[in-house]
Structure 1
Amino acid sequence: MPSSCVSELLIEVTRGKLTECVHRGHIAVVDIQGRLLGSAGNPEFYTFARSTAKLVQAIPLLEAGGAERFTLTPEETALCCASHNGEPEHADTALAILHKLGLDESALHCGCHEPFYKPAADALKRSGQPLTQLHNNCSGKHAGMLALCACMEASIQEYTSPAHPVQQKMLHTVAEMCGVSPDSIQLGTDGCGVPVFAVPLSALALAYARLGCPDQLPERRAEACRAIVQAIRKAPYYVAGTERFDTRLVEVTQGRIIGKMGAEGVYALTVPERGIGLALKIEDGAERALYPTAVEALLQMELLSVEEAAQLAGFHQPIVPNRRDEAVGVIRPAFRLKRAE
């Protein structure tokens, strides 16, 4: 289901007085009714949600009573939604979830990679401790999937398969939250081996609007959405980590805005008190364009205060450094959202 609408220039990367590089993409801002409030490029652009889907994928676990059954803490619930840094607290929390299930790291099928946070990766090497799947940024999501297996009395074998009951449950939950049919969602395989879902940006934005303001959803689902939002508000470090935008956005806004990045230039966020969801896609997948676009879109939608924007300035217009750490350019937004009448 290719998208044909031309993308819009979102970000300019300067060096000296010259614009050296540009990044194009798409933005959709909607309310809980799905009404388009703001856009750039094609708000119906069809793309993989990647890790922005994690907050929605956590819903079935809480709907099934997993938080009560396994006495999940806010930190553990947030980690189920995370693309975490692989810092010690993240790995330890993933292991704590597994222990509550009577499992260990060997039950995970997410694979290994070094911690995203370089000091954590360096410390791990110096200590001589082995790199394990617990350090994978998706270990919390996979631990949550294993917990859902227990709640559904489903086998933990092949839990990453698209045909597994847990993955089917997540597919239908994503479809329902996005307001689309399951058949319209094209599946791929994410970096951690589980299915990943392709939806229009406006549908992803709708899922986030509903996540943050779930009053019109069935009560059990609404409770699950509120629990996810509250867990991330209480434990933002566990959804990302040190020096990460997702964590800082929650901290700076005191939980008023909650967002989640995804690989290949996808971002989604919710503003619960306003019933607003926003989703964006950087067409070339460049992460360096992701956060400047998100902050600028929030500013243009008047969803960030001047003080909050100042605290996020390093994400809004980050410098381009040289090898001596001197500023030689800037990554800056270059778009104006089309606002609804």
Structure 2
Amino acid sequence: MDALLVEVTRGDRVESRHAGAAVVADTGGMVLFRAGDVDAPIYARSTVKAMLAVPLVESGAADRLGLTPPELALACASHSGLPIHADTAAAMLARAGRDEGCLECGAHWPTSPSAAQALAGAGRQPSALHNSCSGKHAGFVCLACDAGHPVGGYVEPEHPVMRQVTQAMSDLTDCRLDEENRGIDGCGIPTYALPLRALATGFARFGCGTGLSADRAEAVRRLREAVAAHPEMVAGEGCFDTRMIEAFGPALFSKMGAEGVQVAALPELGLGIAVKSADGSARAAEVAMAALLARYLPADDERHPVLDRAMRPVLRNWLGREIGGLRPAGALLPRRTGDAARV
């Protein structure tokens, strides 16, 4: 059953409510917090991009091709299509001797309004490089080229690259990933339904490397460090993930996914967090995640306003007047001093 996560207010009244599920787990799968059904399978969508990037580093392909930290961060990203994002994806492909013509993610307008307006104003059409997933796909192309696999069809479940990255995700989450729980993501690759609890456990492991081989632990460390050093690559200016990582640096890995899925890893605490908004609302997932981060992450005077704004975003009308906002609800209401984290 879904739990109440977030309320939307207009004036002094609650106008809407968002339900869903949320969980905090450690590397062994122990649950420290839960709300709603955390064992029901949900499609992880783009939250797992960093997991899918692990073989790129672990195999040595990233080093052999000379991929830079910004490029590794883009491989984990759902970027907003800014020039820096498209140019970095193109640079990744160039390192493998390829260009955008080999990308199988499709093209869409940048999700950044300013980038989309600039592109249209220049009389240009978007390319696959502007796709939010172009960095991930460029990473797949790099992995295929380094291993000598055919590049064409790399999005198919049986392609060697897709089998390799899916296995990495399976290992981290302890979930079987096959045709029984497979769907197709917006960018064309397989996406898998798995319990929210398993997703949180997987990101707890991704965050600190506990239980991983030495090579894999080193790979996840490098990916986390790349993301922490280049949060602008992970999403874009003003986006939730970028704002959170800018504020907390290496203490937090944060990643959104379509249809209201949001994950985080807290490396210093060995914890993973996963949230799913039942109605697919990104705004609800972000508020819920901010509320859980406020419980577990130490926040100083500089960081507190960042979390507060994310946890209670203001709604304004077209004239800029404040008319309401969003706030945590139900089990996500702030704890009283002295309350235990486990519920």
- Please state if 1:171 is matched with 2:166: yes
Query: Using a 3 Å threshold, how does the CA distance of structure 1 residues 122 and 149 change in structure 2: closer, same or farther?
Result: same
Q: Report the equivalent of 1:17.
A: 12
CA shift for structure 1 position 304: 4.0
Of stretches 306-315 and 83-92 in structure 1, the one that deviates more from structure 2 is 306-315
RMSD (Å) for aligned C-alpha atoms:
1.6
- Please state if 1:147 is matched with 2:147: no
User: 1:79-94 to 2 correspondence within 5 Å?
Assistant: 79-94=74-89
Query: Using a 3 Å threshold, how does the CA distance of structure 1 residues 183 and 190 change in structure 2: closer, same or farther?
Result: closer
Instruction: Measure the CA separation in 2 of the matches of 1:177 and 1:311.
Output: 30
Q: Note the alpha carbon deviations across 1:79-132, whole angstroms, 9 max, x for none.
A: 001000100000000000011111111110111111111011111111223311
Q: Report the equivalent of 2:342.
A: 340
Aligned partners of 1:26 and 1:41 also within 8 Å = yes
Aligned partners of 1:295 and 1:309 also within 8 Å = no
Q: Report the equivalent of 1:7.
A: 2
Q: Report the equivalent of 1:301.
A: 296
Query: 1:336 aligns to what SS in structure 2?
Result: helix
Aligned partners of 2:260 and 2:280 also within 8 Å = yes
User: 1:130-145 to 2 correspondence within 5 Å?
Assistant: 130-145=125-140
CA shift for structure 1 position 170: 1.7
Of residues 140, 145, 155, the one that matches 1:160 is 155
Counterpart code for 2:26: D
CA shift for structure 1 position 33: 1.3
Aligned partners of 2:261 and 2:275 also within 8 Å = yes
Query: 1:268 aligns to what SS in structure 2?
Result: strand
Instruction: Measure the CA separation in 2 of the matches of 1:305 and 1:282.
Output: 28
Query: 1:255 aligns to what SS in structure 2?
Result: helix
Counterpart code for 1:299: A
Counterpart code for 2:169: V
User: 1:7-46 to 2 correspondence within 5 Å?
Assistant: 7-46=2-41
Aligned partners of 1:267 and 1:281 also within 8 Å = yes
Counterpart code for 1:295: A
Aligned partners of 2:133 and 2:187 also within 8 Å = yes
Query: Using a 3 Å threshold, how does the CA distance of structure 1 residues 211 and 31 change in structure 2: closer, same or farther?
Result: same
Query: 2:238 aligns to what SS in structure 1?
Result: coil
Q: Report the equivalent of 1:3.
A: none
Runs of 4+ in structure 1 over 6 Å off? none
Instruction: Measure the CA separation in 2 of the matches of 1:136 and 1:243.
Output: 18
Query: 1:72 aligns to what SS in structure 2?
Result: coil
Of stretches 69-78 and 309-318 in structure 1, the one that deviates more from structure 2 is 309-318
Query: 2:200 aligns to what SS in structure 1?
Result: helix
Q: Report the equivalent of 1:186.
A: 181
Counterpart code for 2:88: T
Q: Sequence identity, in percent?
A: 40
Query: 1:182 aligns to what SS in structure 2?
Result: coil
- Please state if 1:111 is matched with 2:113: no
Of residues 119, 124, 129, the one that matches 1:124 is 119
Q: Report the equivalent of 1:63.
A: 58
Instruction: Measure the CA separation in 2 of the matches of 1:232 and 1:241.
Output: 12
Instruction: Measure the CA separation in 2 of the matches of 1:76 and 1:44.
Output: 34
Query: 1:68 aligns to what SS in structure 2?
Result: helix
Aligned partners of 2:177 and 2:192 also within 8 Å = no
Query: 1:332 aligns to what SS in structure 2?
Result: strand
Q: Note the alpha carbon deviations across 1:202-257, whole angstroms, 9 max, x for none.
A: 11111111111104211111111111001101111111111111111111112211
Q: Which runs of 5+ in 2 are unaligned?
A: 333-339
